[in-house]
Chains A and B, each alone.
Chain A
């Protein structure tokens, strides 16, 4: 009975809300609403972030992810303006004496030379009035202008040169936001959860730039509609597909190539996009006699169908895979797959809704031929979401909705693959969980200068039964041994088998979110924000960099949900008629119940993870500075982050001082300084140039503090975790793009992109390992550097 009540709570909340809205609407009769969609005139893609306003007033709106807007104003005559940077501004006279629908198509500002126009999109400038802060937005056009390694445009790498975002060194998967861990980022591709953002261990991201429309990274101030991760949300949206003309885009590079096709469908009621990408470097390696091979491919699909003016369906999906093969002795393949069916429904000119049914999965397989067995593991989820936005008035807008996610975890199974295999078949306990949430969020213009965004998310997590669970004396899966001074695993005293209908453990949390923007004058504003977030699933990883073979695990009896509180304060300013913008932010973030791993923890194929971990905490704080030049032939930015990220873990129920003696220590992603300068220069119609310069404090590591002889070898001794650092990292990349002369009527448009990554061929240490020289036995430090100077050439085309 108890469960039933919990499940219905979000629905009741929603119902109450609708009643509330009904009364609000009734009290505002002398206002009228203009609503509609905004699209690109050339390709018909809906535009996100177009600002629409009534000239001479402060009344305005910004289009949502689906290009929808709604403006409400008192009866009267107005000039309605559609403005989107890089596009021609459109003004029109409207007489507002009834609700009306105005769909608009806007055109890029210099049609004859569309690629020459190099200006930041509106969302990339400092937006002064909206309380939204700690957000990094990148238009895919900007991403494509940056120099890249190996000629492949990379969305994730582009984010890493913005303040507050780092990686764990070249050749590491994922990204870190404001000192957070990789698993603390919620990564969404068309709303589907992506569990691993990297191909080939971080050399490429899983996002095909030809299929992506825009992306938005919330580093803090996460709106109430998102939840489930404590550090950030990366919201990536795929293109809908050209609804005007059939078009082909593609690129041919040294490592990989890509091709995308898009066009109108269903008698102009819809459009489609299909994009594929694959690497073929492994073919060359094979020709060169290399026995090991690595490759990846991915596929993006999207289609939409307009039922009528108020109803639109979208279907999108993604499938990606990495394949490794090591000389026939072992092989591995892993990847994400997702699908999403969405229904946009406009109830009326002020109430917009979207219902999504989403599936996503991440799995890997590891085949070990030498010992004749396969190791497989997966995480799957089914997600239903209903989101609504109510444009009550110009001063008050409401977002609200519900979401539920059913998770299925398969932490691992071993299958012998041959009759002579010495390995016994094994299935680790599968786990199930249900994560539900309801939220409401208001954007409220309190005065002409002060705007607030306040909301609340209620989240509930049910770790469901259907598995056995080990029991320990005094509920201690591990205990501190005070004599030998280390954490020792205890043996289970028994096992409880939970039925599928039972619940192992339930958690719920209220997550308040608040943001305020105070506009000081026409060109500057101050914003502040607070947000609390809960995270119920965790990636088990005790290595410095996460690997594709790490396993996700839900909260439960021994693992508590992570809870974060983040405070942020920012100053935003535009200079010289928006030619320059400056964003300065400072933040302080704490995370409770961050899992930490005991000395010597063993996570592989382990059914009793609780014997390897303790619940700790982490904190991060920093200052971020971003100065952009938005217009002119030279655009770009300077970004600087000063930050600290630490963690601490006490013994808790296991007793003892805790991990690292209970002292704070640097997380592997702590970076004191992180500076990057990025520039794009449009030389003439044919040539444009780009450059990146990056400087970063080295990654925290643990160096040996002595050695001793044992078993005929030199054993290194260590003390405090992550107390040392790799040498500082720096690098310069350049690129040049050449567009050959084009006849204006020719459909084929091609461009050559020449890039040099790491121009100075600096050997940046990705790692330093310590050990004995095989021949002499003398201890030495060995540096691993991943990329030296890497030239690349890519040919891109549009047809």
Chain B
């Protein structure tokens, strides 16, 4: 819904009478904080033993992100139901890895990060996901009847609340297309989402061509993480335009135990995942 009316009004404003250009703006500088990207995704049909957690720091808005990797932290994940502890090894490039993680659906996990004398923790439950039922391509669906789009369908289980994170990454592009999905209006139905690129000369966006490949990831997620992603995606796509809410700080599920004011960015998620890729014909 939201997406639609945003497109509706933005298109009117942008497409018909307005013009856009890139300008220089002075922005404020907030505190530098730890960013935790702890995404323990268990691909269906695999052991899920191999997992990676990424740590970095935030930077001023217009600065390069090249040197923000965090090394020297201690990272572990604990299964709160079984008591099992998984230590993540510092790879000295901002990534921390393990090859012994044991994923169990419905179990609760806690992340602990010790960095510069402060302990950060977060807790999340592992959520299941539906299988992708179909991946197709078409032209007539989507916003533009002449542009190619890839359609991904899956069947939502009836009578239970489900939340999903669907990620498209075109191999020829830098930025992904992200969808946060709640089954509120579509409970129990087969649902289809599409990824279509509309040509835009100003932004150097080209339509999909035969031969382009898109990687597709579908995750089962918690309601809280869905709400986090909703705000993240909305703000990523349209923060600042007149038909968006005032952008605000994203609140993840990790806290700083020793210094509560120094809140970390990022999220700790534990999800079942299905993955696929699609090449346009």
Contact = CB atoms under 8 A, between A and B. Distances in A.
A285 B15 CA distance: 11
A601 B245 contact: yes
A114 interface: no
Interface stretch (B44-52, B98-106, B246-254): B246-254
Interface residues of A, number: 92
A713 B65 CA distance: 11
Interface stretch (B85-93, B109-117, B229-237, B271-279): B229-237
Most chain B C-beta atoms within 10 Å of own C-beta, residue among A168, A169, A329: A329
A782 B22 contact: yes
B247 A718 contact: yes
Given A709-B65, A724-B28, A715 B255 contact: no
A366 B29 CA distance: 41
Contacts of B18: 171, 766, 784-787
Contacts of B16: 285, 290, 292, 294
B82 interface: no
Interface string A692-710: 0000000001111111111
B35 A486 contact: no
Given A763-B19, A784-B18, A294 B1 contact: no
B160 interface: no
A535 B248 CA distance: 28
A41 interface: no
A599 interface: yes
Contacts of A169: 242
A375 B1 contact: yes
Given A711-B167, A771-B239, A774-B203, A605 B265 contact: no
Given A171-B13, A701-B240, A707-B58, A714 B65 contact: yes
A543 B249 contact: no
Nearest to B192: A422
Residue among B12, B19, B231, B248 with the most chain A CB within 10 A?
B248
Contacts of B59: 706-708
Given A285-B16, A709-B35, A600 B231 contact: yes
A423 B173 CA distance: 31
A334 to B, nearest CB: 11
Given A484-B251, A705-B61, A602 B21 contact: no
Nearest to A294: B12
B203 A773 contact: yes
B246 A544 contact: yes
A788 B190 contact: no
Interface in A117-166: none
B157 interface: no
A652 interface: no
A171 B22 contact: no
A424 B175 contact: no
A330 interface: yes
A545 B240 CA distance: 11
A706 B32 contact: yes
Contacts of B5: 332, 366, 547, 549, 604
A475 interface: no
Interface string A592-625: 0000010111101100000000000000000000
A719 interface: yes
Contacts of B231: 599-600
Contacts of A602: 2, 230
Contacts of A483: 255
A776 B203 CA distance: 10
A608 B240 CA distance: 27
A485 interface: yes
Contacts of A704: 27, 61, 239, 247
A327 B203 contact: no
A708 B58 contact: yes
B30 A705 contact: yes
B143 to A, nearest CB: 5
B144 interface: yes
A773 B54 CA distance: 23
A96 B173 CA distance: 90
Contacts of B174: 772, 774-777
A426 B185 CA distance: 8
Contact of A769 (B31, B62, B68, B238): B238
B137 interface: no
Contacts of B27: 703-705, 724, 770, 781
B209 interface: no
Nearest to B165: A711
A172 interface: yes
Contact of B204 (A327, A709, A775, A780): A775
Contacts of B60: 706-707
A577 to B, nearest CB: 45
B187 interface: yes
Contacts of B71: none
B242 A777 contact: no
Contacts of B204: 774-775
Contact of B249 (A200, A718, A776, A784): A718
Given A201-B12, A723-B28, A777 B58 contact: no
B239 A366 contact: no
A575 B239 CA distance: 50
Given A715-B232, A784-B14, A708 B9 contact: no
A424 B159 CA distance: 13
B8 A721 contact: no
A748 interface: no
A784 B20 contact: yes
Q: Among B1, B167, B176, which residue has the most Cβ atoms of chain A within 10 A?
A: B1
Contacts of A507: none
Interface in B139-197: 141-145, 167, 169, 173-176, 178, 184-192, 194
Interface string A532-559: 0000000000111101010000000000
Contact of B4 (A201, A330, A766): A330
Interface string B204-228: 1100000000000000000000010
A328 interface: yes
A707 B68 CA distance: 11
A368 B249 CA distance: 31
Contacts of B17: 171, 203, 786-787
Contact of B9 (A201, A290, A605, A724): A201
A771 B236 contact: yes
A80 interface: no
A171 B205 CA distance: 26
Interface in A698-751: 701-719, 721-724
Contacts of A200: 12
Contact of A713 (B184, B205, B236, B248): B236
Contact of A719 (B13, B30, B266): B30
A716 B11 contact: no
B61 A770 contact: yes
Q: Which 6 residue pairs of A and B lie closest in terms of their CB atoms, listed nearest first?
A: A705-B30, A769-B240, A599-B248, A708-B58, A708-B35, A781-B25
Interface of A: 168-169, 171-172, 200-201, 203, 285, 290, 292, 294, 324, 326-330, 332, 366, 368, 370, 375, 414, 422-424, 426, 483-486, 542-545, 547, 549, 597, 599-602, 604-605, 668, 701-719, 721-724, 763, 765-777, 779-788
Interface of B: 1-2, 4-5, 7-9, 11-25, 27-33, 35, 37, 39, 54, 56-63, 65, 68, 141-145, 167, 169, 173-176, 178, 184-192, 194, 200, 203-205, 227, 230-232, 235-253, 255, 260, 263, 265-267
28 contacts: A169-B242, A171-B242, A172-B242, A285-B16, A292-B12, A329-B142, A332-B5, A370-B141, A484-B255, A486-B251, A605-B1, A702-B247, A703-B27, A704-B27, A706-B58, A706-B60, A709-B37, A709-B56, A713-B176, A719-B249, A722-B246, A723-B28, A724-B27, A768-B23, A768-B240, A774-B203, A779-B62, A781-B27
Given A424-B189, A716-B61, A774-B205, 6 more contacts: A168-B242, A327-B143, A370-B194, A604-B5, A714-B65, A774-B200
